[in-house]
Structure 1
Amino acid sequence: MNRNRREGVTDSWTRADGTRSARWGRGKRWLVRWVDEGQEYSRSFDKKSEAGAYLSSLTTARNTGRFVHDRAGRITIGDLWDQLASQSGHLSPKTLASRETAYRVHVAPRWVAVQVGDVKVTAVRSWVTQMANDGVGVPTIERAVGVLRGICELAVDDKRVAANPVVNVKLPRREHADRNYLSVEQVDRLAEAVSFRPEVVRFLAFTGLRWGEMAALRVRDFDMLRRRIDISRSVTEVRGALVWGTPKTHERRSVPFPAALAGDLSRLMVGKSRDDLVFSSDDNGVLRNTNWRPRVWNRALAAVQADDPEFPTVSPHDLRHTAASLAISAGANVLALQRMLGHAKASMTLDTYSDLFDGDLDHVAGALDAKIAASRETTAGPLRDGGVNSMNA
């Protein structure tokens, strides 16, 4: 063992010759000493077996690069949050604002002054339980725990703690409400009731774009001949301010639109330059969901429901789900739907719309039956028509 790395167990009550030391009978007897990078450290134990066990785990941790000294974990969660926040420039403004709110409202009151080395799994579980008992919604709890998990993961990366105490903490289960998928007829009825920009309803329901992606579209982003939309940016309202950025997954994508939208889009583009917004406000600015929904959408929905009390209560974002439903019923597979919606992974698409794909299983089984029957009919025909006679000839 070199000078910079050595460890061992010593008896602090006796000298090397077996005589009693000045510390005889005082404090803990067994001392584990180790040197790391020229600095000596120690920890005392009452029993030799405890000291030996600690030394064994210490040696293993050091040899595998997992050793973390207790002093490294003395930084507070608040200080680590400041570091994490300074490294989050790659996130969208909306995501940043959401995380900052979760930290300020739920994480900081409990953890801001706690040293990361003192964060225990049991304490995190109690915190989660308390939030649930206080009526905090499951999505909010998920965000708060996600923030604390990210802070502790930063501590792991910096070798301040050996493991993340938040990783295996179970969260309350979400109660998934049934989604309302509109039919084409319902989409048209709702659009007819909209007093300003009725094209928005049909466009979102037939393309599946997010509001921010739609609001950022310029005339130049449309290929009317190929019926394609180039999704390369998004605009989000964060605390009243408009923030421009990339789509949610930070990836550019091309989305098709049906010919049924060509008329709407052409009318919206009349008199506009290539860089003008297509779905603009009445002053040709950004169409804000925070304005359009209460002033236009809610009134249109109320009018439709007054005529038809069974008409589902939906939000503009639900039109994205409607687009997924219509695409699946039209035969779109998972990968095509993933690209259309801009999901990072196909697994996310499956998780989100598993109910729709489950409902399509009967169709798959029916199609398989038809394929099997057709194949058997083709191969059995020659045998029935003369296969035996041919063999006897």
Structure 2
Amino acid sequence: MGARGPKKGKGMRRFGSVRQYRSGRWTASYLDPTGLRQRAPETFETKADAEVWLSQIEADITRKDWRNPDAGAVNFEEYATKWVAERGVASLTEELYVRLLRLHVLPTFGELDLDEITPPRVREWRTERLATTSAATTVAKSYRLLKAILETAVDDELIRRNPCRIRGAGKEVSKSGQVASVEQVDALADAVGIRWRLMVYLGAYGPMRPEEQAELRRKDVDVDNATITVRKAAPELATGQRAEGPTKSEAGKRVVVLPQFLRIDLKRHLDWYAEKGPDGLLFVGEKGAPFRRSTFGRKWKRARAKVGMPSDFRFYDLRHTGHTLSTRSGATLKDTMVRAGQSTEKAALIYQHSDHERQKEVAGGLDRMVQAAREKAREQSQKGAGGAEVVRDA
């Protein structure tokens, strides 16, 4: 048997060239825009098929859509790891990305090159994750992360098109936040213990994120005006370390006007529990250590059980409670967004600024609502006690 290289049928064209092998099949090659010769990745049954392939390549070059066929030969795990490192995101977000990659994305795609990740493989991966984990929210986060990484690969011209094309796959569908009553918030504040009761109230009537409260300092509290200035945040990583840094967004930096009834709790907490000095932390544990999510979490669960709240009522649901009560007291959507430190690009275009005077009005309405609810609860309690006394007398 002789060599199986090109034998005959060499054809010169205006763009590229075609040759026929001894086997009868055809190959094609061309000079790419950088001057390097590129060969077709497969052979063709006829000369016409080879020429059609060359015509498609020529059209891509003319439209500036041509991509080096070897560009996508980049390992996904290496590219994804570098992608996360270059994002410059907050520590908590970086920790989330790394965890999602490690647990959900890399086991399937880690050993593949970028151009080997196809739409069918993405669909199969998502179906498997949904069936295996039964965690639709986590799978949605993982899909969004994979799509974002591959979208950057498109921008880097390593792949031609993003293979993540499942409509709605990155959308999280979670149940609405639960709302506690004023009486339940008071009960939770009492049950969690006097050292932490202010944290419950700030979560509901601030409404402040736990990572924002963890970084509050004595200097941020103005008891006379019942305000707290949120400057930074200190989320806790899975390692237990505090990641002190900026708030979730620029809107997170704000002055929160509190209902007047919280002035007593503010003053008492400063006198009894906050660290000394202007920069002293507002919330510290019994042994003087900074607020720990894990330690508080155990206290929260016990308090929740004692009050009889559902086991899925989270501390973050206090924020939803605050949103709802503020709205009921007359606050507009823009008022609640400013109060909670929320901001999105869409909101920035739609909602106007809610100034400090308006925030005082909102806090006043919230104060009246809570005071009225407490007074009603006291009246009902007194009626119940009176009725019991009549029965005993009888």
Task: Kindly provide the CA deviation profile for residues 20-49 of structure 1, in whole angstroms up to 9, marking residues without a partner as x.
Answer: x98366454363523211212232543566
Deviates more, 1:152-161 or 1:211-220: 152-161
Write out aligned runs for 1:85-164 (5 A).
85-88=84-87, 90-164=88-162
Q: Taking structure 1 as reference, are residues 255 and 50 closer, same or farther at Cα in structure 2, changes over 3 Å only?
A: farther
Task: Kindly provide the CA deviation profile for residues 255-304 of structure 1, in whole angstroms up to 9, marking residues without a partner as x.
Answer: 3222222221122222732111112222333221210121x222222222
Task: Kindly provide the CA deviation profile for residues 308-341 of structure 1, in whole angstroms up to 9, marking residues without a partner as x.
Answer: xxx4442211111111111111222222222222
Matched residue, 2:302: 299
Q: 1:23 aligns with which of 20, 26, 36?
A: 20
Query: 2:345, 2:257 → 1: CA distance?
Result: 18
2:245 maps to a residue whose letter is G
Secondary structure at the counterpart of residue 36 of structure 1: coil
> Does the Cα contact within 8 Å between 2:179 and 2:321 map onto a contact in 1?
yes
Q: 1:13 aligns with which of 5, 9, 15?
A: 9
Task: Kindly provide the CA deviation profile for residues 231-277 of structure 1, in whole angstroms up to 9, marking residues without a partner as x.
Answer: 22111211222221111225533332222222211222227321111
The share of aligned pairs that are identical, in percent, is 24
Matched residue, 1:324: 323
Matched residue, 2:284: 280
Query: 1:23, 1:51 → 2: CA distance?
Result: 10
Query: 1:22, 1:236 → 2: CA distance?
Result: 64
Matched residue, 1:4: none
1:211 maps to a residue whose letter is P
Write out aligned runs for 1:1-393 (5 A).
13-15=9-11, 23=20, 26=23, 28-29=25-26, 31=28, 33-43=30-40, 45-47=44-46, 50-51=49-50, 54-88=53-87, 90-168=88-166, 170-171=168-169, 176-195=174-193, 196-238=195-237, 239-249=239-249, 252-270=253-271, 272-294=276-298, 296-305=299-308, 311-313=309-311, 314-345=313-344
Q: Taking structure 1 as reference, are residues 23 and 29 closer, same or farther at Cα in structure 2, changes over 3 Å only?
A: closer
> Does the Cα contact within 8 Å between 1:29 and 1:45 map onto a contact in 2?
yes
Secondary structure at the counterpart of residue 217 of structure 1: coil
Q: CA deviation at 1:171?
A: 2.4
Query: 2:192, 2:86 → 1: CA distance?
Result: 43
> Does the Cα contact within 8 Å between 1:125 and 1:169 map onto a contact in 2?
no
> Does the Cα contact within 8 Å between 2:224 and 2:263 map onto a contact in 1?
no
1:235 maps to a residue whose letter is A
> Does the Cα contact within 8 Å between 1:80 and 1:154 map onto a contact in 2?
no
Q: Taking structure 1 as reference, are residues 262 and 38 closer, same or farther at Cα in structure 2, changes over 3 Å only?
A: same
Q: TM-score, normalised by structure 1?
A: 0.75
Show structure 2 runs of 5+ residues with no match. Answer: 1-7, 349-394
Q: Taking structure 1 as reference, are residues 250 and 54 closer, same or farther at Cα in structure 2, changes over 3 Å only?
A: farther
1:159 maps to a residue whose letter is E
Q: Taking structure 1 as reference, are residues 99 and 348 closer, same or farther at Cα in structure 2, changes over 3 Å only?
A: farther
Q: TM-score, normalised by structure 2?
A: 0.75
> Does the Cα contact within 8 Å between 2:226 and 2:262 map onto a contact in 1?
no
Note the aligned Cα RMSD (angstroms).
2.9
Secondary structure at the counterpart of residue 71 of structure 2: helix
Query: 1:258, 1:246 → 2: CA distance?
Result: 26
Q: CA deviation at 1:192?
A: 2.0
> Does the Cα contact within 8 Å between 1:99 and 1:143 map onto a contact in 2?
no
